[in-house]
Structures are given as structure tokens and as C-alpha cells.
Amino acid sequence: MKLLIFGPQGSGKGTYASRLAEKFGLKKVTAGDLLRAEIKKGSEIGKIIKPYVEKGELVPKEITVALVKKELEGAENFILDGFPRDIEQAKELDKFVKIDAIIKLNAHEEILLEKISARWICSNPSCDGNYNTADIHKVIEGIEYILPPLLPKKDLICDKCGSKLVQREDDLNIEAIKRRLKIYEEQTKPVIEYYKKKGIPFVEVWMNRPVDVVVEKMVEGLKKIFGNKI
Ligand code: AMP
């Protein structure tokens, strides 16, 4: 199963990608994590991309494409998160892989802003622990959001590996957040249309309920595409 997951920043894409990866034994490849790992290592690439990531701008295509391509080499079953972000990247991806299905998460901007500023991630780069302190109960344009917080068992400590939890610098910069949401609207949404035109099956879900409920809806959608054997 070769899956892509799309959703605006703050929609919980990373969390859903992890849950589906666990459930179906998929390799999870997250473009943002690959880039942040380079920055943390202080590699040559890391030095080049740091200012882009801090400002919430897309890093040069050649760098992201090369990192993602290397990660996907030989993977038969994967879920790719955060890539492709624009049509150019989608065309590059088409050159080396054929996607079977796409998951798309929907949410209103007001909810995303609340979720992003309340997000805490594990400081250990090889752990994908991800938490959120926002407690949201509201209705927007007929969509009822019931989103309880996702808290660690011990304050500011990752349940999975015991490392400290931190906030991402670009999550604390309101200008960067708005830029990332604008890039999604202007550059990433056309990618979704690009894949729809190609006839790739989509599973489209609102992230308006606790994670387990939304995961269940995704699984149901995937079963309609791949059959009950998955
Ligand atoms: P994310 O973790 O998906 O929110 O991404 C954080 C930042 O990493 C983005 O604001 C971009 O600066 C960079 N980034 C992540 N994925 C890509 C991509 N596919 N192409 C270019 N830049 C990316």
C-alpha cells in the first residue's frame, strides 16, 4: 500500500500517519521530520534549509526531493506525509513511485491555529511522540468539533521514550504559521486536484472528533478501496 496523506498544518496529519503506519505496517516518511533532522545534525543541507523552515517557506525542491526519494527507496508499503507540497514536487514523485490512494484531512483555519499553538512534540529526533493541550468544543459552518486534549501521562515528558517535550519554533511564530497555511491553500490544494484528475482514489475526512474515531473513518475508507483483506 503506497499512501499519501494531505492536510493543513495543525490537522494532525503526523499523528494520523503514525496511527495508520502502525495499523497497516507501513513505513512512515515525513518530509518535515527529514528536514528537521538535517537541521539538528548541523549538516551542510541543514544549514541551507534552516532559514526556510524557520520562516515557514518551502525549502528548495532538489533538497526535499532527494531526501524523500532516498527514504522511499525499496519501500513497498509506506505513508508519505508533508510531500508533495506543490505541483512540481508531485511531478517529481510521479517519476519514481506510483501512489495507490490518498487520505485528505479537512479542518477550519480557526481550529488549526488553536491546535498549532498548543502542539508539543518529543525532543528525541528518532521518536514521533506528539501531544496537544488544546481542548476544543465548537461548531463552525455546521461542522461540530469535539477535540479533547492529547496529554502525556507525565507533564512535559514523552510517553513513548521519556524524553522532554518541546514546542517547534515555527509553531510559535504566528507569521510562519500563517505563511504555512497560505502555502497549503495556494500551492498544496492544487496538488490534490492534480491527483483527483489522475483518478487516484481519495479518502476524505474531517478532523472533528477524537483521534481514534477519525482513524476508524480512515480505515473504513481504505477498506472500500483495498477491500477487507487489508
Ligand atoms: P511540517 O513539519 O510539515 O509543518 O513542515 C515544516 C517546514 O518544513 C515547512 O514549513 C517547510 O519549511 C519545510 N517543508 C516540509 N515539507 C516540505 C516540502 N515537501 N517541500 C518543501 N519544504 C518543506
Overall average pLDDT of the 176-195 stretch:
93
Check if 188 has its Cβ closer than 6 Å to any atom of ligand 1: no
Check if 35 has its Cβ closer than 6 Å to any atom of ligand 1: yes
If one residue of 59, 105, 122 were mutated to test the ligand 1 pocket, choosing by the most ligand atoms within 8 A of its CB, it would be 59
Give the pLDDT band of residue 125 (cuts 50, 70, 90).
Answer: confident
Q: What is the pLDDT of residue 229?
A: 77
Cα 145 to averaged position of ligand 1 atoms, centre (Å): 26
Cα 28 to averaged position of ligand 1 atoms, centre (Å): 16
Cα 180 to averaged position of ligand 1 atoms, centre (Å): 8
Query: 29: which strand partners?
Result: 80
Q: What is the pLDDT of residue 149?
A: 95
d(CA 165, CA 160): 11
| Closest CA to ligand 1's atom 12 | 53
Asked if pLDDT for residue 134 goes beyond 90, the answer is yes
Question: pTM for the whole thing?
Answer: 0.90
d(CA 101, CA 173): 33
Hey, what's the cell of 222?
Answer: 481504505
Check if 59 has its Cβ closer than 6 Å to any atom of ligand 1: yes
